[in-house]
Structure formats: C-alpha cells, structure tokens
Structure 1
Amino acid sequence: MNAVLKVAALGLAQLVAIGLLVFVPAGTIDYWQAWVFLAVFGLAAWIPSIYLQVTNPVALQRRMRSGPVAEGRRVQKVVMLGLYGSLVAICVVSGFDHRFGWSSVPAALCLIGDVVVAVGLGVVVMVTIQNRYASTTVQVQSDQHVVSTGLYGLVRHPMYTGNVLMLVGLPLALGSYWALIFVMPGVAVLAARIQDEEKLLGDELDGYREYTQKVRSRLIPQVW
C-alpha cells in the first residue's frame, strides 16, 4: 500500500507542477480547459501507474526514470532538455493565450484535444505492458530481446508515437492555437532521439537490424 501511495503522491506532484505552469501565466483559476485537462491527465496517468505498481513494479520504475538527468548518453540529455522545453512552452503559452485571448478554440476541439492526450497516454501504457524492457531512458538491458508484436508490429517506437499524440493534444486541450507552434520542435527532438537510439539498438541489441527490415516505420505508420 505504501508503494501505491507513493505513486499517487508523485502523480499529484506532477499535476501541481503542470497546474502552476498553466495557471500562473493565465493569471486566474477560471480556466475550465485547464481543469478538464488536469482531470483527464490525472486519471489517464494515475490509474495505469497504480495498476503497474501492483502488477509490474519494475516496468513502472523504468517508466518513471525519465528526464535529462536520468539519461546516460550526452546527446539524449540535450534531446530531453529540448522535449521538456517544448512541453513547458506549450503550457506557459497556453496560459498566456487564455489570459490575453489570443485564440478562440471551440469547446468541442478542446475536448478532442483531451481525448488525443488520453489516447497518447494509453499508448505509452500499452507499450509498457507489451514490452517489459520499455524504458523512458535510452539503454539496452543485458537480457533484452527484440519485441516485434503488438504496437511494435506497427512502428518501431510506439512509446514516442504516444508522446507525439500528447504533444498535439495538449495545446488543443488547453485552448491555444498559438501553443501549437511548439509541437514541431517537440516532434523534431523526438526524431533526433529516435535516430540516436536506433544507432545504439543496432549496435547492441541482437536482431534489431533484422527487425528494422520487417517494420519500416519508426514513429508514424506508413509515413516515417
């Protein structure tokens, strides 16, 4: 139970941090789009995290070790700084957008954005379940083998596909067209991360080069 409470506490801290990034620039808590997003994000992140803590705590720990500090490769530290910077910029610009009324995003589109975020989080969770070696840091385990079924049969990096969905859905969920500007930099750094990660996997993971010939798409099926 203590472990479950710890996961819930970490999730709450994450929500508070995101809330500050949005509400402080907005200058108000009268921001229904942000409240709905936080509710969706909290439920879509907490419930799977608690499930993983009960059923597969090792996988959850790999998922929770993230960020520039957790990365062992210098290029990945830079990439993660860029990705986190994009996420922070989306939240902050969305808050300012709400304050100054730069965008007029229909409520229906905001709710669609929430759905896209939830789907993206769901994809990340599915990856964690389907691949016990899945990690938010770039590394190869000593006993790791190639997983080519499930979502890995569609793209080689489905966790990052989920990240892209969250990047796209976030500014819409927060009601900001202007924040969409920061989606492309986020996708660009993910693409750079994939390029570097594939070099590592090709060199250190048996069977990965053969897998790349079977599954051609890295991030988006039939696109790239």
Structure 2
Amino acid sequence: MEKKLIVQALVKVVCGIVLLGLLLFVPAGTLNYWQGLFFMAILFIPMIVAGFVMMFKCPELLKKRLNVKEEQSEQRTVILLSGLMFIAAFLVAGLNFRFGWLILPDWVTYLFTVVFLIAYLLYAEVLRENEYLSRTVEVQENQKVVDTGLYGVVRHPMYMTTLLLFLSMPLVLGSLFSFVIMLVYIPIISKRIHNEEQVLAEGLAGYREYMDKVKYQVIPFIW
C-alpha cells in the first residue's frame, strides 16, 4: 500500500470535514446546529469506511476517485459550478438555522437520512461494479463497457446515486432553501453527461451500442 495514497486520502477527508464545518457552523453561529452535526456524521463515517475498504481491496480505484484534474475544459466548468452550488447550499442551510427562516420538521431529517444512506449503498455498489470509474471524464487504457447490474438499468448510475445524495443533503439539514439551490445540480450533471457521452462514444469501443441498448441515462423511464 502506498504511503502517499494514505496521506492523500486522509488530507482530503480532514480538509473536507474542516471546510464543511466552517460552511455550516459559522453561518449558523453555533455548534448546536444538530442537523449539521448529524449530517456530518452520516456523510463522513461511511466515506471513511469506504475509503479504508478501497485502500486495502482496490487502491487503484481509490487513486482514480481522488484524482479531480479534468482534461476537458467543459468539465472544469462543471466542477466549478458544482463547487459554487455546494458552498451556497451549505451557507444558506447554516443561515436558515440561525435566523429560523423556514426550519423543516425533524421527521424530514430522519426520512431523508434513510434516502441518503440508501443512496450511499447504491454508490458503493456502483464502485463495486465498475473498476474503471473515475472522477474525471476520460477513456482509460484497456477500458471495457460495463453493462451489467445498475449499468443495465441506466447508463450513468453514479449520477443517479449522486442526484439522490445531493438532493437529500439539504433536507437532512432541514433547509428547503438549500434544497432549491441543490436543484441546480440537475442541469449541471446534464451538461457533464452530454460531454462525457461524447468522449466515451468516440473513444470507447462498444459504447455507441451500449447507448442503443440502455435507453435511460440517469432515471429509469424518465431521464
């Protein structure tokens, strides 16, 4: 196991915890924002567990997941927009708690915690099914089309799971306003998918046939 990979993963997690904590609790004006603490727990505990599993069982996949350097200029724009969306949504969630603009009832937090955790499990299944899964849009050496499991249902199950994850996040945090901000993710991933499928259709053998076989991109019978 590479020491560099371990350090890189730990640094990313620690930075993520610190950054998210600042985005939530500074605008909230308190650490007693229980939905914020709860959300950080259900976000980072499974993330750390999954990271350790990948580190020992599939370090190459972990390397790919840690790599965020996009070659495609269009994808760099997508990443920038996604980052701004997250910053805005988390800041608004904290402010919403602080000023009590529109606090959703606790049952909403609990309900969408279940949705969030189910999406996390689906995310893990996607990682298990596709060893070529990268955070960047690229065609890898010796890459093959994966068309089984969730990939036999939609062409981009990773985006299906992230859509569930991201739209449930603000509801776990109790903020309807943040949920509205997170809806921006839909056109963002639509743009990403359009570019990604162009790259895959041009560079990955069999992908055009796969597109004909599996009709839906993200949501069965809808999208």
TM range (shorter): over 0.9
TM-score (norm 1): 0.93
**Cross-structure match for 2:34:** 32
Q: Residue by residue, what CA displacement relative to the aligned partner does 1:26-47 show, whole Å, maximum 9, x if unpaired? A: 1111100001101100112111
The answer to which of 76-85 and 107-116 deviates more is: 107-116
Q: How does 1:5-154 map to 2 (within 5 A)?
A: 7-66=9-68, 70-154=69-153
Asked whether the 8 Å contact 2:92–2:177 carries over to 1, the reply is yes
Q: How many Å separate the matches in 2 of 1:73 and 1:65? A: 14
Q: How many Å separate the matches in 2 of 1:197 and 1:180? A: 26
SS class of match (1:216): coil
Asked whether the 8 Å contact 2:120–2:165 carries over to 1, the reply is yes
Asked whether the 8 Å contact 1:115–1:169 carries over to 2, the reply is no
CA drift at 1:13? 2.4
TM-score (norm 2): 0.94
Q: How many Å separate the matches in 2 of 1:94 and 1:40? A: 17
CA drift at 1:54? 0.4
Q: Residue by residue, what CA displacement relative to the aligned partner does 1:118-139 show, whole Å, maximum 9, x if unpaired? A: 2333322222211110011100
SS class of match (1:50): helix
**Cross-structure match for 1:189:** 188
CA drift at 1:8? 4.0
Q: How many Å separate the matches in 2 of 1:84 and 1:28? A: 24
Residues 1:176 and 1:10: Cα distance change in structure 2 (over 3 Å): same
Asked whether the 8 Å contact 2:55–2:62 carries over to 1, the reply is yes
Asked whether the 8 Å contact 1:8–1:50 carries over to 2, the reply is no
Q: How many Å separate the matches in 1 of 2:210 and 2:172? A: 36
CA drift at 1:15? 1.4
CA drift at 1:61? 1.0
Q: 1:222 is matched by which residue type in structure 2?
A: F
**Cross-structure match for 1:204:** 203
Q: Matched residues, percent identical?
A: 35
SS class of match (1:152): helix
Asked whether the 8 Å contact 1:90–1:170 carries over to 2, the reply is no
Q: How many Å separate the matches in 1 of 2:32 and 2:201? A: 50
Q: 2:192 is matched by which residue type in structure 1?
A: R
* 4+ runs deviating over 6 angstroms: none
CA drift at 1:150? 1.0
Q: Residue by residue, what CA displacement relative to the aligned partner does 1:81-107 show, whole Å, maximum 9, x if unpaired? A: 111211111111101100110112111
Q: 1:11 is matched by which residue type in structure 2?
A: V
Say how many residue pairs are matched. Answer: 221
- 5+ residue gaps in structure 1? none
RMSD: 1.5
SS class of match (1:29): coil
